[in-house]
Structure 1
Amino acid sequence: MLAINVAVLLAFIVIMRLRRRTEARSRMDEKFTVVIVLTLGVLIAPTEFGQGILNVITQLVQGITQS
């Protein structure tokens, strides 16, 4: 349960950071955003929600490769 709560907090932070203007970002700011997004992915991956996302993406990729 703690991983989901931290993931929600990180998702909120990512959304707030991505809403800022692109011109106002420094390289350090961009690197920090990448670290936050990667951490969010690691927290979401083992949850049911993360597995559902993985299944949807897997089906989408299989559908594209078969067509």
Structure 2
Amino acid sequence: MDKKFIYKMIDDALIPYISGVDGWEIRDEDYEIMYDRIIERKTQANANELYELVEDVVYEYITSDANV
């Protein structure tokens, strides 16, 4: 899968969570972690659609205490 395309999908999924928040920045390492999780889940049997995987991973990232 095209990494740039998935990064763009991650950016789009983040918009509702970070719009209006000044100074919010996603580190390159975080993009890579989310990308790896998406690819891992996509390769599993019975995987959801790509957009659903992206939304799920971004939600987990935003709600995780480790990323605050």
TM-score using structure 1 length? 0.34
User: More helix by proportion, 1 or 2?
Assistant: 1
Greater gyration radius: 1
Q: Which has the higher contact order (CA 8 A, sep 6+)?
A: 1
TM-score using structure 2 length? 0.34
